[in-house]
Amino acid sequence: MPSADLASHVFELVRGCLNPSSLHRPGQRARALVEEAREVVRSFVGAERKDKIIFTSGATEANSLALYGALAARQSISAKLGRVISTMIEHHSVLEVLQELSGRGTKVELVSPAAAAISSDQFASKLSEDVALLSVMAANNETGLVLPVAEIARLARENLPKVLVHSDAVQIFGRLRCSISALNADMLTISGHKLGAFSGVGCLVAREHVPLLPQLRGGPQEGRLRAGTENLIGIVSMSEAIKQIAPTIEQRGQAMLELREHLWSSLSRQCKIAKRLFSQSETLPNTLSVQFPGIRSDDLLVALDLKGISVSAGSACASGRPDPSHVLLAHGFSNQEAREVIRISLSGSEELAQLEIAAREIATLASFNSSKNINCKGAE
């Protein structure tokens, strides 16, 4: 959610605006805001003047447009399907599209990560000449693990000059300085709410040469690549949020990192069973994954929530009990181990005193649950 200041600034900017496709003045004011936002995003992601900046309803839609849209366009040109390579730790908005494509005959291969990392070498053997598209996230939303997208893309392009590289870069932008060329990608996905904008807005950035077919058809909006009246308030909020964070990404990242390390040193001092997962140098600065062997993370999560401390565990599911994270399972954790992990995401604005309280509460609840021996054995 945007801060109250940003939200009221955005409301002020869009006050009196109407449909950006209308020719009257309130419509044209809205159009000017949308086009200004496009340029803000372009500069933020380091895209060139002719690259496509396509506003969508969020990263889920942008990922769908990238995968379905690029493959459909390619098929319409060459009639050959081509293989898709991705990873087992992608967000569900990528994995479910790939599963659906696979059900319709596209060959999809998912690279499984090593215990605590994913390396470009793991892709080398998969890059045969029929690979059409590579989709590799820039950083994982559960573990914060940063993936070597640029190196994987370089390997792919060495042998496959026509391969397209897409990266779901939702988690990295705003936390580390990044750009489409730093990722060596042809397409990248970002999401507004991860940058401090309202939720319900995102963007697919596609290099000029990338052929794409729209997945929503109708009006001529977004260069005919995404029909539908633009979400003006969302788009403007994304642009204003980017203007706010872009100049200070390094400082924000450093602040998050220092807070995270402070939290971990306090927590590990007070709770000897806490086990930190993933190397701190290979993860986003705001993310901390901790395993509490023998303790169910959802019990811990609920108890912490009652204390006003929000952490996450696994992935949400219809039953209300989070499923064990597909990401941790892919990294080789057992069902039970995956159910013992909580992830803590910091915004960078936390006070040290708040983190001390959080560490103490987590340690107290962990030792209480550990003494009750609430564990996952036999509870699958």
The residue range among 122-130, 164-172, 282-290, 346-354 that interacts with ligand PLP, by the rule CB under 6 A, is: 164-172
Q: Which residues are catalytic?
A: 317
Q: Within positions 166 to 225, which residues make up the interface with ligand PLP, using CB under 6 A?
A: 168, 170-171, 191, 202
Instruction: Judge whether 149 and 185 are in contact, CB under 8 Å.
Output: yes
Instruction: Tell the smallest beta-carbon distance from residue 142 to ligand PLP (Å).
Output: 8
Please tell me the chain's helix, strand, coil percentages from 3-state DSSP, rounded to the nearest 5: 45, 15, 40
**Is residue 218 helix, strand or coil?**
coil
Instruction: Tell the smallest beta-carbon distance from residue 250 to ligand PLP (Å).
Output: 22
Tokens of 221: 């909006």
Instruction: Judge whether 177 and 249 are in contact, CB under 8 Å.
Output: yes
Nearer to ligand PLP, 147 or 358 (CB): 147
Asked whether position 325 contacts ligand PLP by CB under 6 A, the answer is no
The residue range among 73-81, 155-163, 165-173, 346-354 that interacts with ligand PLP, by the rule CB under 6 A, is: 165-173
Strands (E) located in the chain = 52-56, 83-87, 108-111, 131-135, 164-168, 187-191, 202-206, 275-277, 287-291, 341-345
Helix axes 232-245, 25-45, angle to 10 degrees: 40
The residue range among 81-89, 123-131, 163-171, 315-323 that interacts with ligand PLP, by the rule CB under 6 A, is: 163-171
Closest chain position to ligand PLP (CB)? 58
Give 71-76 contacts, CB < 8 A, sequence gap 24+.
71/101, 71/106, 71/132, 71/133, 72/213, 73/211, 73/212, 73/213, 74/132, 74/133, 74/164, 74/211, 76/213
Instruction: Tell the smallest beta-carbon distance from residue 7 to ligand PLP (Å).
Output: 18
Instruction: Tell the smallest beta-carbon distance from residue 277 to ligand PLP (Å).
Output: 18
Nearer to ligand PLP, 191 or 287 (CB): 191
**Is residue 173 helix, strand or coil?**
strand
Instruction: Tell the smallest beta-carbon distance from residue 57 to ligand PLP (Å).
Output: 7
Instruction: Tell the smallest beta-carbon distance from residue 43 to ligand PLP (Å).
Output: 21
CA dist., res. 306 & res. 370, Å (int): 18
Nearer to ligand PLP, 150 or 274 (CB): 150
The contact pattern for ligand PLP, residues 85-104, with x = CB under 6 A and - = no contact, is: ------x-x-----------
Greatest alpha-carbon pair distance for the chain in Å reads 69
The Cβ of residue 298 has, within 10 Å, a number of other Cβ atoms equal to: 17
Q: Within positions 98 to 157, which residues make up the interface with ligand PLP, using CB under 6 A?
A: 137, 141
Nearer to ligand PLP, 60 or 325 (CB): 60
Sites of contact with ligand PLP (CB under 6 A): 58-60, 91, 93, 137, 141, 168, 170-171, 191, 202
